[in-house]
């Protein structure tokens, strides 16, 4: 059932273009209008939502962090993303106009389930984004939008993450559509580009050999750091999480702007730092700032592994290793920038002789709090 792959994780990484396409299927019509009939929360209720709260754990939490940028940008509804395990313990402010989105691959994560139960008790509406039909989280939610990743067997989440992003973008665009705000050219373009993203993921997958080689060369390192900004920040966190759980290495993700507030002290000779570079188009100020960060850490000895858009020449002089990703709209970049980080972690785990599909101490679904 591994279809000739050595590990389920490799198979699931390779399945991502299809998983993304399947999750989009039937949800956007030919003229770019979204129809999410399965979300049985009435348009009237959605129009009245005045706050969105996303709860999730682990990789799903990183998808939720990215979703916050998309939801706030396209809908202008305030959105916060919180670790499900923290949520109910701080007496969060929720009411009938709060939309809570619970993201979970398995649909059985106890922390997420307890968070959504708490939200419903306070009168909030709960929409689940879930990959497992009929699991507990969607059953206990007001509505569900299923991701169509197919079964994910490897403990480390990969294809579920990409489809969670797709589902979050669909919800964000649908909210914008229902509420009629900012429903202009930009959103139509994004809908079109979202439909093309599966092919871009396929393109990235076709260029991963240098990333594998690089990973093998770092097998004896103890630490890898990850930097990102804007939607690249959760991607950095996700890259670090993959490396912790698979390679058992000390891996930390930082918001690049925080470097000078502490983490830069960690930079020493030859420490590998993966930098997820925002598009030079779009928010170009951020791009320029991160290029300075790369210069700063390199001057202090870091080995820079730079993930940057095709055509971004500004990073070239400071990249010890350069990984190219296709051009995408700013908010969609995590769909392509996360892929090299998955491949990187998988290969490092293999090089270190670790059990890729079943990392030590971890379970695929965490059904205790």
Catalytic residue positions? Answer: 364
Applying CB under 6 A, among 124, 156, 306, 356 the residue interacting with ligand M6R is 156
Residues 6+ positions from 348 with CB-CB distance below 8 Å: 215, 216, 218, 219, 243, 246, 247, 249
Applying CB under 6 A, among 10, 24, 28, 60 the residue interacting with ligand M6R is 60
Distance of CA 108 to the CA centre of its chain: 20
Give residue for tokens 């020449």. Answer: 313
| Binding piece for ligand M6R, criterion CB under 6 A, among 53-61, 195-203, 210-218, 311-319 | 53-61
Nearest approach, Cβ of 358 to ligand M6R (angstroms)?
Answer: 11
Are 339 and 205 spatial neighbours (Cβ–Cβ below 8 Å)?
yes
Strand partners, 128: 102, 144
Nearest approach, Cβ of 343 to ligand M6R (angstroms)?
Answer: 14
C-alpha pair distances (Å), 205 with each of 135, 192, 320, 349 = 31, 21, 21, 18
Asked if residue 234 binds ligand M6R (CB under 6 A), the reply is: no
Residue-by-residue DSSP string for 48-111 = H--EEEEEE-HHHHHHHHHHHHHHHHHH---EEEEEHHHHGGG-----TTEEEEEEESSS--HH
- Cα 264 from Cα 231, distance rounded (Å): 21
Nearest approach, Cβ of 194 to ligand M6R (angstroms)?
Answer: 21
User: Nearer Cβ to ligand M6R, position 28 or 166?
Assistant: 166
Asked if residue 145 binds ligand M6R (CB under 6 A), the reply is: no
Strand partners, 127: 101, 143
Nearest approach, Cβ of 160 to ligand M6R (angstroms)?
Answer: 6
| Binding piece for ligand M6R, criterion CB under 6 A, among 104-112, 174-182, 206-214, 284-292 | 104-112
| Binding piece for ligand M6R, criterion CB under 6 A, among 99-107, 117-125, 167-175, 204-212 | 99-107
Are 286 and 304 spatial neighbours (Cβ–Cβ below 8 Å)?
no
Nearest approach, Cβ of 40 to ligand M6R (angstroms)?
Answer: 22
Asked if residue 104 binds ligand M6R (CB under 6 A), the reply is: yes
Nearest approach, Cβ of 352 to ligand M6R (angstroms)?
Answer: 17
| Binding piece for ligand M6R, criterion CB under 6 A, among 29-37, 152-160, 250-258, 272-280 | 152-160
- Cα 172 from Cα 231, distance rounded (Å): 15
| Binding piece for ligand M6R, criterion CB under 6 A, among 22-30, 45-53, 58-66, 168-176 | 58-66
Applying CB under 6 A, among 23, 112, 293, 342 the residue interacting with ligand M6R is 112
The pairing of beta strand 250-255 with beta strand 143-146: unpaired
Distance of CA 94 to the CA centre of its chain: 25
Asked if residue 366 binds ligand M6R (CB under 6 A), the reply is: yes
Asked if residue 136 binds ligand M6R (CB under 6 A), the reply is: no
Applying CB under 6 A, among 28, 54, 57, 94 the residue interacting with ligand M6R is 57
Distance of CA 303 to the CA centre of its chain: 25
User: Nearer Cβ to ligand M6R, position 35 or 367?
Assistant: 367
Burial of 158 (0-12, 13-18, 19+ CB in 10 A): buried
Query: Binding residues for ligand M6R, per CB under 6 A?
Result: 57-60, 104-106, 109, 112, 155-157, 241, 245, 365-366
């Amino acid at each position: 059932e591994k279809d000739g792959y050595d590990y389920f994780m490799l198979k699931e990484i390779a399945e991502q273009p299809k998983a993304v396409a399947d999750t989009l299927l039937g949800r956007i019509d030919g003229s770019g209008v979204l129809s999410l009939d399965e979300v049985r929360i009435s348009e009237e209720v959605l129009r009245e939502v005045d706050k969105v709260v996303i709860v999730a754990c682990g990789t799903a939490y990183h998808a939720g962090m990215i979703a916050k940028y998309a939801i706030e940008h396209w809908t202008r509804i305030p959105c916060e993303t919180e670790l499900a395990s923290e949520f109910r313990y701080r007496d969060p402010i929720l009411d009938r106009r709060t939309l809570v989105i619970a993201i979970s691959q398995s649909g059985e994560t106890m922390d997420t389930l307890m968070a959504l139960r708490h939200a419903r008790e306070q009168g909030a509406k709960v929409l689940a984004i879930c990959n497992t039909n009929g699991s507990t989280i969607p059953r206990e939610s007001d509505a569900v939008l299923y991701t169509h990743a197919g079964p994910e067997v490897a403990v480390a989440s990969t294809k579920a993450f990409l489809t969670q992003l797709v589902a979050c973008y669909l919800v964000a665009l649908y909210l914008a559509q229902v509420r009629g705000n900012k429903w202009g050219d930009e959103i139509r373009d994004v809908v079109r580009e979202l439909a093309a993203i599966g092919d871009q993921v396929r393109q990235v997958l076709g260029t991963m050999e240098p990333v594998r080689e690089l990973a093998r060369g770092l097998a004896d390192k103890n630490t890898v750091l990850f930097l990102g900004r804007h939607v690249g920040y959760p991607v950095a966190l996700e890259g670090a999480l993959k490396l912790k759980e698979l390679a058992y290495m000390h891996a930390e993700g930082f918001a690049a702007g925080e470097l000078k507030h502490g983490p830069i002290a960690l930079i020493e000779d030859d420490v590998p730092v993966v930098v997820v570079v925002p598009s030079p188009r779009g928010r170009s100020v951020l791009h320029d700032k991160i290029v300075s960060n790369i210069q700063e850490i390199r001057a202090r000895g870091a080995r820079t592994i730079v993930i940057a858009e095709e055509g971004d020449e500004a990073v070239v002089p400071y990249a010890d290793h350069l990984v190219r990703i296709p051009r995408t709209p700013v908010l969609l970049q995590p769909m392509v920038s996360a892929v090299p980080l998955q491949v990187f972690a998988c290969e490092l785990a293999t090089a270190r002789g670790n059990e890729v599909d079943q990392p030590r101490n971890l379970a695929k679904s965490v059904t205790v709090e």
